[in-house]
Structure 1
Amino acid sequence: MDVKIKDSFFDDPETTTFWVNNGLPNQDQILQMQDSMYIQKENEFCKRTLGIQNHYLLYFKKQTAQKWVNLDNATIEYVKHQSVGLGIRISKHKQCFEFFGDVEPWYNYLRQYCVQRNFSQSYTLLKKIGQGNFADVYKATNKMDGAEYAIKCFRKNKLKENVDRLSMIKEISIMKKIQHESVIKLYEVYEGDDCLYLVLEYLRGGELHQFMKKSPPFSEEKCSKLIFRILKALYSIHQKGILHRDLKPENIMLRNKDDLDNICIGDFGLADYYSPSGQYLFTRCGTPGYVAPELLQDKLYDFKIDIYSVGILMYILIAGKSPFDGKDYDDVVMRNYYAKVKFEDCKLTEVGMNFLKGLMNKNPIQRFSAEEALNHPWFATENSNKACQFKIRKQNYVLKKLGHCELQIKQFSAISTQFSPKSSLSSLSPYCMTKYNLDESPQTPNSPSAQFAISTPRTPGMCKLRPVRRSQFNLKQI
């Protein structure tokens, strides 16, 4: 069958092969799906056994997996043949593979990893609710069940440079990998001729930033409950080897209006997998006034840069102002660079002040980790750990240090059936990798390095957006 394959934004221009014939995935792991399918060979159809192991499609011969393909960001679509009926076409690197049979359960599993076509068949865009340099965000409904979603629409002609493609691939990979109640959910990815569509959960409550503007400074008890929820999410993110790198009130959302008990971390446009050698797609990034000093100082950094950002947020919640307030932008950068903080402006109990200084310690070695912070007596005093029902392993050395004072089916066309993202038979995979960490653990990805200070403005994938200044850090001026 002659097939014309559309170019895909996600194709690697340096790769032209579809199947990998060596280094098979771990065959001892359980297959999520396995079945005999019809494959066309030399104008005839024959039966072959296929299997799915996480995000790999395996091709079997005589009960042995002969070859495989990584399905991350491959394109998937339904096809129909007059002889064998409904099938699936998977395209990657301008190559494709088709199989036919009982494919509907396969499609609804594979779409959590793959990129789909025909966005307009599944969703109706209602109104624009946000705008940025690269993307617009729309409120939309699913045509099958009417459920509401936020659609982050990236204009492909704005993503021309290779670094933009790599950044998009990484952002999607990271969002698919994180499954936590306090992290925005990515359900599906679509690609059209002009745009990429990220289907995200619709958050009605707006930004924490907007809530704080109309709210007086938080009480210590109210602050502790919010900070605890953010640290819970960060602990999960860090456990997966991921740094957020842009935590601030604009990127923390409320699922419902004025409901601080249901917050959500969003915008992973600057997130990356931790690299001990400091090899990141963007090395110096974030928002001055909300970042750790070691990031501005061009030093190696780790997960604790996010902890420092949580400390800044806590300071703002209690004091009602930024710890790095300055007369202009350069003054803010300088204060942030040297970590000049007037802790006396925060009215806290002794244990609360100990906690804040542990989060904002300018020495990252002495700064709390997410786990250490969650076990701090400040949360025990406020009973937040019981209220949130969060249990985490206690470490004696930590406590000692603290003691010393530190989818219903619907047919969209003659050949297309699929589930709504929220009612899908299979949940999103908790583990999704790009080619940059396929052969290595998430803690040591082979990410491209950036030689210069690079910033990529992005719009948060959520129900409300506001323009955010992400600046290049010219360290020679400091």
Structure 2
Amino acid sequence: MSRRQNANDENLSWILKYPNEFSHEDFESQHMHILKQEQFGQLKESDEILNGQLYTFWNGTLEYSKFILMPNLLIKVTIQNGLLQIPQSQFNQNGATYYLSLSECTITQKMIQHRSQQAFGMLLTNSIGTTYLFFSNFVTFRTWYKQMKQFCKLTGFLDKYKLGDKVLPGFYTCTKKKKKTQYTVQIYKSDDFEQCQELEDAVYNEIQILRSIKHQSLLELKRVYQNNKYLFIVYEYYKGDTLFNLLNSNLQLHEVQIASIIYQILQVVKFLNQHQFYHGSINPQNVLINSQHQMLQITLINLSFKEYKVNDKLDWILNRAVESFLAPEIFEGIAPNISTDIYALGCVLYFMTYYDSKKYEFQIKNEDKDFYNVMDNFEIQNTRIDESEQQLKIGFQQNQSKSKVSSSQLDLLRKMLQTDASKRLTIKEATKHHWFVNVKSKIKSLKVERKRKKPLPSLRTIIELREMSEMDVRMTIIQQQQSGLNALHSMNSKLQSTPSNTKRTLIYTQQPSKLSQFVAKNEFDDDYEIPDEELYLEVPVINRKREPKKRPSNIILL
């Protein structure tokens, strides 16, 4: 529910006597965007946070105007209609309404004082210029500032945090100096954004998405900071490793663990699609395995969501994503969507099923280059799936199958890798696939066996499992070999630019789907049956974490 603020603020016209306190260019102009008529409908999907009368510079004058704060949006309504009402009724579509996308703005505080008079200000700076907001009441100022800074970029990261070790490509630990609280920070070079606008768009879209929704398998975003050289995205503290690095260290996954990973990713994809998003870059480098919990818990990172229009270039997808994980229809001009996410997840399942790290040992130099070297040589070979099915058939006939791959796993694999998007599994069909039902039965049988026989060793994390057969899983755990992480001595030595492939150009030629085209309207009925929560868990089964509550408001991507 929104709150009305600052309705009877005292006149602040006296601050005009101090022109040196402001940028002349910012004073003489305005830096907000006009809200287009077709964007009004999106506002109905979001909740109002604050509203009130605020002072701002507007084309050379000091205006006392109505402002509304919504998730990621600051809206200025220039036509006054008396008392404040609910947002959608107060926007006059025939008049001018302006907005700022707060995720693109850096927010700073400014105070102006003359004798007994005080003005408390906020500066919202984006690539166009700076918008000033002023308050005479400190309590009102703090209320607005506290709400707005959760959507804006802040300054002074290195003053507030101590940077630690590199834990993942582009990710580092950091500690808040005052409270000694640990966080994880992702760092981008500003130069990389200047060289690739699509990268900047994707990063800011991810920031907006993570501020809009919350899920146990998505990192919780805390704050965003920026200086002249870097963008710092602060997340909750996370300890784990990428699925690729684990597989590359000779980790052998049991079928139950593979099913749990795939099922959890499916749940995230479904969740994103329910909010009209897709991931866009599902691959083993963007799947993290959490090492802080006994249960097997995954996290998806590096969302590459973008809203495409007809004739938009798809260069970002072609030149940044892993080519072998791209669905065939993308090369025909179809933009990414939930169906292409399903295909990419099929590639992840194929990778976990058949990847042999020993084949690439000679290429292991550093984790970033190693990943791209392996991906450059990775391809889906249907003949390998055929061979696995043939081995299962022969083993079944001889009643002595030793295959680690089940027929239901291969069936899901084929259906997710269907090159014809119209025949590919939907998200609902994938989550209800009989492989997950079969694996659930295996988990239950393992639980019964544990009661009759010697209990399983403690499975602190999936990282502790090394080269196990289906029988060995009950008896053997090889201790994880921890590799020391060297302290980083300077910022420049820490940050590596993302490797890029040879640039190609492709135009989005077909009218895409709104995501609903790929998923029926009733695709996610709450009452349909899915495999139970055991598929989230590592054997032995541990009670699942309580599902985090969804944030009340959706952020608007304008």
TM-score when scaled to structure 2? Answer: 0.58
Residues 137/22 of structure 1: CA separation in 2 closer, same or farther (3 Å cut): closer
How far apart are residue 230 of structure 1 and its match?
Answer: 0.9
> Counterpart of 2:234?
199
Unaligned 5+ runs, structure 2: 1-17, 85-89, 92-96, 364-371, 390-402, 445-522, 531-548
2:99 alignment partner, one of 63, 69, 73: 69
Aligned-partner Cα distance in 1 for 2:24–2:57: 21
Aligned-partner Cα distance in 1 for 2:297–2:165: 25
How far apart are residue 376 of structure 1 and its match?
Answer: 1.6
Report which stretch shifted further, 102-111 or 237-246. Answer: 237-246
How far apart are residue 191 of structure 1 and its match?
Answer: 1.6
Residues 292 and 336 of structure 1 are in contact (CA less than 8 Å); yes or no, is this contact kept in structure 2? no
1:375 alignment partner, one of 432, 436, 442: 432
> Counterpart of 1:58?
75
Residues 51/250 of structure 1: CA separation in 2 closer, same or farther (3 Å cut): same
How far apart are residue 353 of structure 1 and its match?
Answer: 2.6
Aligned-partner Cα distance in 2 for 1:162–1:335: 26
Residues 121 and 132 of structure 2 are in contact (CA less than 8 Å); yes or no, is this contact kept in structure 1? no
Is 2:393 aligned against 1:393? no
> Counterpart of 1:273?
307
> Counterpart of 1:252?
287
Aligned-partner Cα distance in 2 for 1:70–1:243: 25
Report which stretch shifted further, 288-297 or 237-246. Answer: 288-297
Report which stretch shifted further, 356-365 or 293-302. Answer: 293-302
Residues 181/275 of structure 1: CA separation in 2 closer, same or farther (3 Å cut): farther
Is 2:455 aligned against 1:363? no
> Counterpart of 2:183?
149
Residues 249/257 of structure 1: CA separation in 2 closer, same or farther (3 Å cut): farther
How far apart are residue 301 of structure 1 and its match?
Answer: 5.5
Residues 278 and 301 of structure 1 are in contact (CA less than 8 Å); yes or no, is this contact kept in structure 2? no
Aligned-partner Cα distance in 2 for 1:299–1:49: 42
Residues 347 and 380 of structure 2 are in contact (CA less than 8 Å); yes or no, is this contact kept in structure 1? no
> Counterpart of 1:78?
109
> Counterpart of 1:91?
125
How far apart are residue 355 of structure 1 and its match?
Answer: 1.8
Aligned-partner Cα distance in 2 for 1:278–1:35: 39
Is 2:150 aligned against 1:115? no
Residues 216-262 of structure 1: CA distance to partner in whole angstroms, max 9, x if unpaired?
Answer: 53332222222111110111223333333322222111232585622
Is 2:409 aligned against 1:352? yes
Aligned-partner Cα distance in 1 for 2:159–2:131: 22
Residues 165/211 of structure 1: CA separation in 2 closer, same or farther (3 Å cut): closer
Instruction: Specify the SS of the correspondent of 1:261.
Output: coil
How far apart are residue 205 of structure 1 and its match?
Answer: 1.3
How far apart are residue 264 of structure 1 and its match?
Answer: 0.1
Residues 51/252 of structure 1: CA separation in 2 closer, same or farther (3 Å cut): same
How far apart are residue 109 of structure 1 and its match?
Answer: 1.9
Higher helix share goes to which structure?
2
Instruction: Specify the SS of the correspondent of 2:285.
Output: helix
Instruction: Specify the SS of the correspondent of 1:382.
Output: helix
Residues 345/240 of structure 1: CA separation in 2 closer, same or farther (3 Å cut): same
> Counterpart of 2:31?
17
Aligned-partner Cα distance in 2 for 1:200–1:96: 28
| 1:206-355 to 2 correspondences below 5 Å | 206-214=241-249, 216-256=251-291, 261-268=296-303, 270-273=304-307, 279-280=313-314, 282-284=316-318, 285-295=320-330, 302-321=337-356, 336=379, 341-345=384-388, 347=403, 348-355=405-412
Residues 191 and 229 of structure 2 are in contact (CA less than 8 Å); yes or no, is this contact kept in structure 1? yes
Seq. identity, %: 17
Residues 205 and 258 of structure 1 are in contact (CA less than 8 Å); yes or no, is this contact kept in structure 2? no
- Number of corresponding residues: 390
Amino acid at match of 1:78: Q
How far apart are residue 349 of structure 1 and its match?
Answer: 3.2
Amino acid at match of 2:152: C
Aligned-partner Cα distance in 2 for 1:43–1:360: 60
Amino acid at match of 1:253: L
Aligned-partner Cα distance in 2 for 1:242–1:91: 28
Aligned-partner Cα distance in 1 for 2:289–2:36: 47
Amino acid at match of 1:431: N
Residues 323-342 of structure 1: CA distance to partner in whole angstroms, max 9, x if unpaired?
Answer: x99x9999986983886653
Residues 340/241 of structure 1: CA separation in 2 closer, same or farther (3 Å cut): farther
Aligned-partner Cα distance in 2 for 1:21–1:70: 9
Residues 80/369 of structure 1: CA separation in 2 closer, same or farther (3 Å cut): same
Instruction: Specify the SS of the correspondent of 1:180.
Output: coil
Residues 221 and 233 of structure 2 are in contact (CA less than 8 Å); yes or no, is this contact kept in structure 1? yes
How far apart are residue 276 of structure 1 and its match?
Answer: 7.3
Residues 206 and 257 of structure 1 are in contact (CA less than 8 Å); yes or no, is this contact kept in structure 2? no
Amino acid at match of 1:75: T
Instruction: Specify the SS of the correspondent of 1:211.
Output: helix
TM-score when scaled to structure 1? Answer: 0.67
Residues 243/45 of structure 1: CA separation in 2 closer, same or farther (3 Å cut): closer
Residues 331/117 of structure 1: CA separation in 2 closer, same or farther (3 Å cut): closer
Aligned-partner Cα distance in 1 for 2:146–2:354: 49
Residues 152-206 of structure 1: CA distance to partner in whole angstroms, max 9, x if unpaired?
Answer: 2222234333625444434434444453211223322222122221212332111
Amino acid at match of 1:393: D
Aligned-partner Cα distance in 1 for 2:434–2:31: 55
Instruction: Specify the SS of the correspondent of 1:242.
Output: coil
How far apart are residue 374 of structure 1 and its match?
Answer: 0.8
Residues 186 and 233 of structure 2 are in contact (CA less than 8 Å); yes or no, is this contact kept in structure 1? yes
Residues 16/157 of structure 1: CA separation in 2 closer, same or farther (3 Å cut): farther
> Counterpart of 1:138?
172
Aligned-partner Cα distance in 1 for 2:150–2:345: 31
Aligned-partner Cα distance in 2 for 1:197–1:6: 30
Residues 73 and 556 of structure 2 are in contact (CA less than 8 Å); yes or no, is this contact kept in structure 1? no
Amino acid at match of 1:118: G
How far apart are residue 148 of structure 1 and its match?
Answer: 1.6
Aligned-partner Cα distance in 1 for 2:285–2:313: 27
Aligned-partner Cα distance in 2 for 1:317–1:6: 59
Residues 30 and 57 of structure 2 are in contact (CA less than 8 Å); yes or no, is this contact kept in structure 1? no
